[in-house]
Each structure stands twice: as structure tokens, then as C-alpha cells.
């Protein structure tokens, strides 16, 4: 290992610009003759739009245009496409209603964009937006799953009777039924998975520029995957060929899934720029973000577990309603299906599993991937159910898990829900986490808490996730509209420094450092001499971007493969220079050496020769030293581990304090331990936030009650403890790096551990159930109800 290669906790290269205030985020980009867009959004969850009167707005100072759905239709702008098609049980395709960039005639959620006002300054645009008169005819709306599937519920789409988008299933119903029929014990649970807002601290923004001389569009946007955005703009929405489109995702202030999707505003600023002859910039307010960024989760689930009397799992049956919102966002249908139901085996041997997922339209903001995306929902229901089973069967919570974990010698392990796990060591991470939290002394700590009037609880979650998304052929067969490989170009410069062009996108993950470390590991070049370029479709190869913890595993593997090609070509050049057979030349520690001799050429010498090919095998080897690779994964990767949480509950107020968190993850081979730990910390905060604090609350009329940071609780520093993070590595068996991925482990693993800990704390009071978020009033009410109180 070099001091900058795999396993080195080097401080990040990208930090300096951020620390000096020199980052360049989308809203920082101001172009000559910049104009500004502000959207008029529906205040109603469901309303017919009778008319829009823009005359006053158009007459206001600085206003360049007011555009509506009529204008968009007249210019044949495409609707926002959904990139994944699910086929229902009965063989029918899901209902995919139109998703216009600006609505025409009807608004279907609060925040639906009705008109776009463009002015010379942002303030002028805001002023004028208030002058646009929209005549709405409000109609009954439905926001919640159970209400949306009830008889007589308001219908979001005529073409989706009962508000059903699709009714899908996975697994072997007959085998599962048979297990339940002969089960010695059955444990059932009903729970919800709360709707959350992604809330990257940087709000979304888009700045579109049409160059009428070059007939070319440039879009600066807060995207996790600029090439995907360009593809959708080209093929579906703007309908302009790719070479006429440049999409730049510069520094992006966090994504968490919400910046994967192609949003209407990205299309509209480009379209409007051509119409007004100015670049058009839109920057979301936070309250606007709550109404226009895709939300996450929002499931209602009933699940049953069949067990033997001594606690061996025999079968799992799951029925879930998943809220899609009013429209289908880019990957929405895949989240509760292929990223959820396929994970229902968890880290356990469960011989039979059957899952039904019904996706439901409501008059709410679309729901799509948020950090974890489907896998947190699966983990949450399974781990809650396992805990409940342990209590009902009188088995220790740790032991029931230990008894059912897939053992290291059972890999590769085929689950009943389509996935084949390649490798893992779940007992090892379980033991590691238990040791880190000093589980043996929990009773002492509980007694100490009790002396202070606090109820202490211990919570556990053993989890698995699927990431490294994804084999293209597989996802294609499952309904995806895109491939999910990644691309890299490695350009060696004449003096031996390197630029890597990657299709992955870094918005906090630290790729400028970790990808340089990968190259350093292979070529021995100091990371200071390796530049990572990402985020600009004019510069980088066509790649699929960053989400689903895929970049190190898939993007890193693409870089690895491109470096392989560089190394091989260098061998041919070195062999020529060393007057040896290519087969005899080996590459190690940045040097080409004739095996068994001290005859060698440095990588730098070979690179220089490639570009100054005076003494060169020109008949068989091209000059230059640059190569590309597209890496398509063979399988998902399967990080997993054990998350442990201790909480203290104040029984008087219901306040839950997380007092200790210890986790042991297996995320595969680690490039930079400091960065991997940082990713785990962030995911843990996200997961604890979902468990205790965060919820998008809609009222029955479809108004979002928690639409700002005044009412939607984001985790703060004082809400969290420091975290104990450990890793136990088993290398991924099917990619060249052995990396599995770490970005989502916290958000996936920890929420059930938190709730299990709260329920453990409250068990002596008779509380058996809570839904997330476990807010103080909810906890207090549960205590009152269990104690037979008035609440």
C-alpha cells in the first residue's frame, strides 16, 4: 500500500476551494445578460385552472416573459418522462399519466408549476409572479394512502381507477402460503414508513442558456447525473440532439437522491432562454423545495413472519401500499418494487417470501429515491418484525438474529426474492458491533439511567442492502429505460501526470480524492498529479452518475479497467524501450521492469515516449496514452452489517435522546477510511432524523403542513451523539476493486435500531408499537395509552 493508495485516510483534495468560499455551485454561476425565473405554483392540491391572466405581470418592471402550459404545449415541449416501467400482476403495464413541465388546465399537487415569470432581476420576477392572476376551481383532494384507496376517494387520474398506478408482486405465493399454513408461530405487524423530504442544504437551481450563434444550449444544474439529464432533455423533453446540448453539474451541495431526477425547471430555463434571448436562472427557495423536490418513502405495510417454535424463520409475507404522489418521477416505480421487495430477505435465511406492492397516486409531490430508496423501507419492516417476533416468542433479540443469519459458508446465497448475494460475514459484523457498544454492560447503564428518571433502551438492526447499481441487462429486463454502467477516460499527459474523466458525479462523496487514490494505487503517481474531472457533458464520457452507492463500486471499476488498458499499452512501449518481449515486462510500483532483471523504465518515461514517439514501435502501437472503459456490473453489491442504538426516553415529556450508536458495516474494500466513516456518519444522521424528527405532514386537503425548516425538523448537532463506526471487510467478488459501497448504509440500517431501542425502553410500560418519527407527543401518547390514561 502506498501512503496515498487503498486504505490511506488522506485529507481531501477538493476541500480547499470549499473552505475558502471558492466552490462554484449552480447559483454562483451568473452569465452575461442573466435573467431570472420565478414560478407561480398551485396553492391547491387539486384544482382546475379556469384561466391565467398575466397582463399585469407582463407590464411590471423588468419582466421579459410570462410562460404557461399553453405556451409549452404550443412549442411541443415534452412531458417529464418516467424512466422505469412496472408490469402489474395481471400483465398490464403501469399507468403512466402525462407529466407536463407546466400544467395545463389542472394542478394536481400544491406546488405544481402553473406559470413561469422571467425578469431582469430575481426581485422583479418575484414581484411580478404575485401579479399573475390564476382562476382556480379547487376540488376535493387526497393525500394519504389509506384515504386514496378508500371507496369514493377523489381520483387523481381518470386512467388510474382507485388511484392505482400498478399492482405488482414478487416471490412465490404458493410456497409462502404453504409455509404459513404449517407454521408453528406467526407474527404480524402493521406499520408506516414516514414521508421525508431530501433537504440537501443546497436548494435545486438551474441556469439555461441558448446560444443563437452556435445554435447550442447550455444548462448549469444541480444534478447527480448530468448525462442522464442531457439524455432525457434530448430524447423526451426539449427534443434537441445531444451534440446541441451541454449539461454542467458544477459543485453540487448534496443530493441524497433528490438531484437524480430530471425536473421540469431544467427543461423550462433552456426553453425560456431561447424565447427571451437571455440566460435564465432559477434558484429554489427552501419552501419551494418542499413543494417541488421529490419526496421519499411513504409506505403503509402489513407484514407477517412465519416461524418455528424455536424462532427459525420459515416465510415472510408483505403487503405494501406505496405513495407515488401526483406524477411519476424519473425512477419512482422502481423504488418500492425492485429496490424494496428484492431486499426483503435481509441478511437472513427465509425459505419463502411473497410481497405485493400497490403503487398509489395522491395529490402530493411526487415520491422517488431519497438516500437508501426502498432499502430503508424493507429493512425497517423486516427489523421491526424480527424484534416483535423475538418478544412474542420470548427469544433474545440478538439470538433470534444470530439463529437466522446467512452464514459465511452459504455464499453465494440465492434469496427467494431474485437477488443472489455474493459474499458477506454477518455474524462477524454482529459481534463487532456488540463489542463496540459493550452490550454485556447494558443492564448497568439502564439502571444508571433509571436513577436519573430516564428509560434506557437498546435497539438492534442487522441489515443488508443492494447497491453498486446495476447490471444493465438485468435492470432492462425489470423495466428500466436506461443502462446502469459507468464510464471513465484516463488521459496520461506527456510528463506523466493524469486526468481522469468520469461519468460519476461528486456532490460530497470526495471522488476527486478517492478516484485519485485508486489511480495512485495502480500507477504510483502522487494524487497531487491526478485530476478528476466530472460533471460536464462536454468533457466527460457518457456515464450514468452518482446514486445508489454506486460510484466507487461501478465508477471506480470503470477507472480500474481504463487504467488496465493504459498499463497494458505501456507494457508494449516499455518492452520496445527495454528491448524485451512484452510478456516478460511487468508493472509494479510505477515501474515497468523486465522480469527477474533490474532493467526498468518509469511510468513517466513510458508516458513521455508515447507522446514523443521517436524511438517507438510505431507499426504496432499508436502514439499517445489515453484510454476509456465502460464498466457494466455483473451483479449488485451487498453491503451489510449491524447497527446498535441506545436511547434514553424521558417518560414525562416523551423526548427521546439517542445516547449511543455503534455500527459495524461490511462495505467491501475501502479506499479512504476517513471518507468511508464520514459517509456512514451522514447516513446515520439521516436515518436517526427519519426515525425521530423528520416527516412531511400533509393535511387531508393536501396542504403540506411541514413545508419549511420551521416545522420540518432537520437533525442538528445537539440532536446526535458521536458515532462508533467499525468495518469488517469481505471483498466484493465480482468487480475488480472489491468495493461494495457505503453512501446509504446509515440511512438504511439505523432507523429500525432507533425505534427498536425506543420500544425496548418503553416495554416495561406496556408500549408495543410506535410509528416513525417517534416525536415526543407520539411517545407520550403511547405511554398514556399503555398505562390506560386519557390519551
Partner 1 sequence: MRNFEFHRPQSVADAVTLLKGNDAAKLLAGGQSLLPILKLDLAQPSDLVSLAKIPGLKEIRSEGGDRGDLVIGALVTHDEVASSPEVRQRIPGLAALAGGIGDAQIRNRGTIGGSLAHADPAADYPAAVLALGATIVTDRRSIAADDYFTGLFQTALGADEIITAVRFPVPERSAYAKFPHPASKYAVVGVMVAKTAGGVRVAVTGAGSKVFRLTALEQALTENFAWRAASAVEVPPGDLRTGGESSPEYLAHLVQVMAKRAIQACQ
Partner 2 sequence: MATISLKVNEKSHVVDVEARTLLVELLREHLRLTGTHVGCDTSQCGACTVWVDGKSVKSCAMLAVEADGAAVTTIEGLSGNGKLHPMQTAFHTCHGLQCGFCTPGMVMRATELIQRNPNPTEDEVRHGLEGNLCRCTGYHNIVKAVLTAAETVRGGAQ
- Looking at 95-103, 527-535, 729-737, 777-785, which segment touches partner 1 (CB under 8 A)? 777-785
| 61 is a site residue for partner 1 (CB under 8 A) | no
Among 279, 510, 535, 545, which residue interacts with partner 2 (rule: CB under 8 A)?
510
What nine digits make up the cell of 399?
A: 439470538
Q: 640: burial class by Cβ within 10 Å (0-12, 13-18, 19+)?
A: buried
Dist. CA 377–CA 772, nearest whole Å: 11
Instruction: Detail the DSSP E strand segments found in 503-655.
Output: 530-533, 585-588, 591-594, 600-602, 626-631, 640-649
Q: Are 525 and 3 in contact (CB under 8 A)?
A: no
Dist. CA 193–CA 258, nearest whole Å: 18
| 27 is a site residue for partner 2 (CB under 8 A) | yes
Q: If contact means CB under 5 to 8 A according to the sort of partner, which of partner 2, partner 1, none does residue 208 touch? A: none
Which residues in 102-141 contact partner 2 (CB under 8 A)?
123
Dist. CA 260–CA 265, nearest whole Å: 14
Q: Are 669 and 677 in contact (CB under 8 A)?
A: no
| 528 is a site residue for partner 2 (CB under 8 A) | no
Which distant-in-sequence residues (6+ apart) come within 8 Å of 704 by Cβ? Answer: 110, 111, 290, 291, 364, 365, 696, 697, 698
Q: Are 483 and 514 in contact (CB under 8 A)?
A: no
| 121 is a site residue for partner 1 (CB under 8 A) | no
| 765 is a site residue for partner 1 (CB under 8 A) | no
Determine which helix (DSSP H) or strand (DSSP E) holds 192, and give its type and residue range.
Answer: strand 185-193
Among 1, 21, 477, 788, which residue interacts with partner 2 (rule: CB under 8 A)?
21
Among 652, 700, 764, 787, which residue interacts with partner 1 (rule: CB under 8 A)?
652
- If the CB atoms of residues 92 and 708 are measured against partner 2, the closer one turns out to be 708
| 682 is a site residue for partner 2 (CB under 8 A) | yes
- If the CB atoms of residues 202 and 425 are measured against partner 2, the closer one turns out to be 202
| 683 is a site residue for partner 2 (CB under 8 A) | yes
Among 16, 93, 441, 539, which residue interacts with partner 2 (rule: CB under 8 A)?
16
Q: Are 261 and 546 in contact (CB under 8 A)?
A: no
- If the CB atoms of residues 201 and 710 are measured against partner 1, the closer one turns out to be 710
Q: How many CB atoms lie within 10 A of CB 512?
A: 21
Among 19, 20, 201, 790, which residue interacts with partner 1 (rule: CB under 8 A)?
790
| 407 is a site residue for partner 1 (CB under 8 A) | no
- If the CB atoms of residues 86 and 644 are measured against partner 2, the closer one turns out to be 644
Q: Cα angle vertex 317, ends 478, 193, to 5°? A: 80
- Looking at 179-187, 293-301, 424-432, 702-710, which segment touches partner 2 (CB under 8 A)? 702-710
Among 196, 252, 567, 671, which residue interacts with partner 2 (rule: CB under 8 A)?
252
For residue 254, give the nearest of 684, 772, 683, 709 by alpha carbon.
Answer: 683
- If the CB atoms of residues 254 and 776 are measured against partner 1, the closer one turns out to be 776
Q: How many CB atoms lie within 10 A of CB 473?
A: 12
| 638 is a site residue for partner 2 (CB under 8 A) | no
Minimum separation from the CB atom of position 369 to partner 1 (A): 24
Which distant-in-sequence residues (6+ apart) come within 8 Å of 83 by Cβ? Answer: 232, 330, 331, 480, 481, 482
Which residues in 686-725 contact partner 1 (CB under 8 A)?
693, 705, 709-714, 719
Size of the site for partner 2 (CB under 8 A): 58
DSSP bridge partners of 414: 420
| 169 is a site residue for partner 1 (CB under 8 A) | no
The residue behind cell 452489517 is 641
State the pairing for strand pair 133-138/205-211. unpaired
| 655 is a site residue for partner 2 (CB under 8 A) | no
Binding stretches for partner 1 (CB under 8 A): 123, 126-127, 130, 287, 652-653, 693, 705, 709-714, 719, 775-777, 780-781, 790-791
Binding stretches for partner 2 (CB under 8 A): 11-12, 14-25, 27-28, 30, 123, 199-203, 251-254, 256, 283, 285-287, 507-510, 674-675, 677-678, 681-686, 708-710, 714-718, 720, 722-723, 746
Amino acid at each position: 500500500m502506498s501512503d496515498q493508495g487503498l486504505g490511506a485516510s488522506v485529507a481531501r483534495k477538493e476541500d480547499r476551494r470549499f473552505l475558502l468560499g471558492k466552490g462554484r455551485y449552480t447559483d454562483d454561476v451568473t452569465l452575461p445578460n442573466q435573467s431570472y425565473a420565478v414560478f407561480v405554483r398551485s396553492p391547491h392540491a387539486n384544482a382546475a385552472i379556469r384561466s391565467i391572466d398575466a397582463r399585469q405581470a407582463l407590464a411590471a418592471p423588468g419582466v421579459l416573459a410570462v410562460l404557461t402550459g399553453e405556451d409549452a404545449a404550443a412549442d411541443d415541449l415534452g412531458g417529464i418522462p418516467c424512466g422505469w416501467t412496472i408490469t402489474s400482476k395481471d400483465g398490464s403495464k403501469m399507468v403512466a399519466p402525462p407529466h407536463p413541465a407546466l400544467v395545463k388546465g389542472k394542478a394536481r399537487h400544491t406546488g405544481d408549476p402553473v406559470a413561469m415569470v422571467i425578469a431582469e432581476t430575481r426581485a422583479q420576477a418575484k414581484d411580478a409572479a404575485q401579479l399573475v392572476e390564476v382562476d382556480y376551481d379547487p376540488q376535493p383532494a387526497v393525500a394519504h394512502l389509506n384515504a386514496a384507496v378508500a371507496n369514493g376517494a377523489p381520483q387523481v387520474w381518470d386512467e388510474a381507477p382507485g388511484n392505482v398506478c400498478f399492482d405488482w408482486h414478487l416471490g412465490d405465493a404458493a410456497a409462502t402460503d404453504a409455509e404459513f399454513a404449517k407454521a408453528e408461530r406467526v407474527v404480524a405487524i402493521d406499520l408506516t414508513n414516514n414521508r421525508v423530504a431530501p433537504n440537501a442544504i443546497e436548494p435545486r437551481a438551474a441556469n439555461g442558456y441558448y446560444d443563437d450563434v452556435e445554435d447550442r444550449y447550455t444548462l448549469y444544474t444541480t444534478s447527480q447525473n448530468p448525462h442522464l439529464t442531457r439524455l432525457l432533455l434530448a430524447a423526451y423533453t426539449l427534443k434537441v440532439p445531444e451534440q446541441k446540448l451541454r449539461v454542467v453539474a458544477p459543485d453540487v451541495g448534496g443530493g441524497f437522491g433528490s438531484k437524480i431526477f430530471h425536473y421540469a425547471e431544467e427543461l423550462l430555463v433552456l426553453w425560456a432562454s431561447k424565447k427571451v434571448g437571455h440566460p435564465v436562472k432559477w434558484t429554489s427557495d427552501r419552501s419551494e423545495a418542499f413543494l417541488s423536490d421529490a419526496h421519499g418513502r411513504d409506505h403503509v405495510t402489513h407484514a407477517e413472519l412465519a416461524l418455528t417454535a424455536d424462532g427459525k424463520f420459515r416465510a415472510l409475507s408483505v403487503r405494501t401500499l406505496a405513495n407515488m404522489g401526483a406524477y411519476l418521477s424519473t425512477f419512482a416505480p422502481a423504488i418500492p418494487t425492485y429496490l424494496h421487495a428484492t431486499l426483503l430477505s435481509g441478511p437472513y435465511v427465509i425459505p419463502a417470501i411473497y410481497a405485493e406492492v400497490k403503487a398509489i397516486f395522491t395529490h402530493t409531490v411526487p415520491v422517488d429515491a431519497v438516500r437508501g430508496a426502498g432499502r430503508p423501507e424493507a429493512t425497517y419492516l423486516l427489523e421491526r418484525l424480527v424484534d416483535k417476533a423475538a418478544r412474542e416468542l420470548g427469544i433474545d433479540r440478538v439470538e433470534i438474529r444470530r439463529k437466522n443469519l446467512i452464514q459465511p459458508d452459504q455464499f453465494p446465497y440465492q434469496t427467494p426474492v431474485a437477488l443472489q448475494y455474493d459474499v458477506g460475514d454477518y455474524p462477524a459484523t454482529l459481534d463487532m458491533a456488540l463489542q463496540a457498544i459493550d452490550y454485556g454492560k447494558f443492564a448497568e447503564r439502564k439502571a444508571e439511567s433509571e436513577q436519573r428518571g430516564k428509560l434506557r433502551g437498546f435497539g438492534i438492526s442487522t441489515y443488508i442492502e443492494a447497491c453498486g447499481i446495476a447490471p444493465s441487462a438485468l435492470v432492462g429486463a425489470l423495466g428500466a429505460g436506461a443502462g446502469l454502467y459507468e464510464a471513465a477516460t484516463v488521459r496520461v499527459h506527456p510528463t506523466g501526470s493524469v486526468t481522469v474523466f468520469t461519468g460519476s458525479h461528486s456532490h460530497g462523496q470526495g471522488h476527486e480524492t478517492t478516484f485519485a487514490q485508486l489511480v495512485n494505487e495502480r500507477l504510483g503517481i502522487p494524487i497531487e498529479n491526478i485530476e478528476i474531472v466530472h460533471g460536464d457533458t462536454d468533457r466527460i464520457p457518457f456515464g450514468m452518475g452518482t446514486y445508489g452507492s454506486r460510484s466507487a463500486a461501478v465508477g471506480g471499476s470503470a477507472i480500474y479497467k481504463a487504467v488496465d488498458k493504459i498499463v497494458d499499452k505501456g507494457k508494449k512501449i516499455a518492452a520496445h524501450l527495454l528491448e524485451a518481449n512484452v510478456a516478460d515486462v511487468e508493472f509494479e510500483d510505477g515501474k515497468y521492469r523486465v522480469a527477474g532483471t533490474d532493467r526498468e523504465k518509469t511510468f513517466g518515461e513510458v508516458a513521455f515516449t508515447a507522446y514523443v514517439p521517436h524511438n517507438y514501435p510505431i507499426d504496432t502501437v499508436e502514439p499517445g496514452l489515453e484510454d476509456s472503459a465502460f464498466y457494466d456490473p455483473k451483479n449488485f453489491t451487498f453491503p451489510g452489517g449491524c447497527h446498535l442504538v441506545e436511547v434514553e426516553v424521558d417518560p414525562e415529556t416523551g423526548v427521546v435522546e439517542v445516547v449511543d450508536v455503534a455500527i459495524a458495516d461490511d462495505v467491501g474494500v475501502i479506499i479512504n477510511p476517513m471518507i468511508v466513516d464520514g459517509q456512514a456518519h451522514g447516513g446515520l444522521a439521516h436515518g436517526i432524523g427519519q426515525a425521530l424528527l423528520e416527516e412531511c405532514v400533509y393535511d387531508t386537503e393536501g396542504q403540506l403542513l411541514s413545508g419549511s425548516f420551521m416545522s420540518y425538523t432537520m437533525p442538528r448537532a445537539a440532536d446526535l451523539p458521536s458515532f462508533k463506526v467499525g468495518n469488517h471487510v469481505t471483498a466484493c467478488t465480482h468487480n475488480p476493486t472489491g468495493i461494495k459501497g457505503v453512501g446509504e448504509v446509515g440511512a438504511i440500517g439505523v432507523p429500525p435500531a432507533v425505534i427498536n431501542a425506543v420500544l425496548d425502553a418503553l416495554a416495561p410500560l406496556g408500549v408495543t408499537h410506535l410509528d416513525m418519527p417517534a416525536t415526543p407527543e407520539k411517545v407520550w401518547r403511547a405511554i398514556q395509552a399503555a398505562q390506560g390514561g386519557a390519551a
